[in-house]
Amino acid sequence: MHERTQIKLRAADRAELEAVVADRNSPQKHVWRAKIVLLTAAGHGTAEIKRQTGKAKTVIWRWQERFTDEGVDGLWRDKTRPARIPPLSAEIAERVVALTLAGPPSGATHWTGAAMAEAARISVSSVQRIWRAHGLQPHRVRQFKLSNDPESRAPRTGGISPSRPPAPEQAGSPLRRGACSPGNCSEARCKRTPSAESGDAGSRGGTGSRRRSASWD
């Protein structure tokens, strides 16, 4: 017979276990653990304990061994499980911080999580945890590269083409549409020729003289 099944309870331990089972406010995990020990001490086998508690054989054996090793107090304490992912060492965190502060890799404007993970040989989530812990935000610090294209380096003219300089300002009042100025007139499109202007002046003068003569009479 296995050692774990050779459980002999003291009066104080039995009273404590029975009180836990009888208390309706006890956590259920404490209740079935106490039942396993009480049934084992009463001489019941694993099959009967399994039937009354509804727990698997491996669970029954675990808590029988826990009571044998640690007593009643061991039944109320859950052992902490090791983390699935081991914590990163301080050297790795320091390396990530140093690489981040040294600037982005060649050909990039800033560090990305994937690039840093590849450089430090850790996961992207680990890189992000280190950045958050040290208050680093490399995506907000950008470095710009100059283009090798010579056209992109040509001076800008402010939106005005060099082949079309702005027209000089004309003195005097603005011209009406279709009118000509002394410096901007072409014979083909000009509607006011010197002969037309002289004719207009003569007609205006003749009409005025007739009006004046009529008024004198």
Q: pLDDT digit string (tens) for 89-139?
A: 889 999 999 999 888 888 888 889 899 998 888 889 899 999 998 888 887
- Statement to judge: residues 66 and 15 lie in one domain: yes
Structural tokens at position 128:
């992000």
In-domain check, residue 26 = yes
Structural tokens at position 114:
């994937």
Q: pLDDT digit string (tens) for 68-87?
A: 889 999 999 887 776 667 77
User: How many Å apart are CA 150 and CA 124, to the nearest integer?
Assistant: 39
- Statement to judge: residues 51 and 28 lie in one domain: yes
Give 209's pLDDT tier (boundaries 50, 70, 90).
very low
- Statement to judge: residues 136 and 113 lie in one domain: yes
Supply the range of the domain harboring residue 122. Answer: 90-140
In-domain check, residue 149 = no
pTM of the entire predicted model: 0.41
Boundary of a domain, candidates 24, 48, 75 = 75
In-domain check, residue 205 = no
How many domains in the chain?
Answer: 2
- For 59-118, the three-class secondary structure string (H helix, E strand, C coil) is HHHHHHHHHHHHCHHHHCCCCCCCCCCCCCCHHHHHHHHHHHHHCCCCCCCCCCHHHHHH
- Statement to judge: residues 106 and 50 lie in one domain: no
User: How many Å apart are CA 180 and CA 192, to the nearest integer?
Assistant: 8
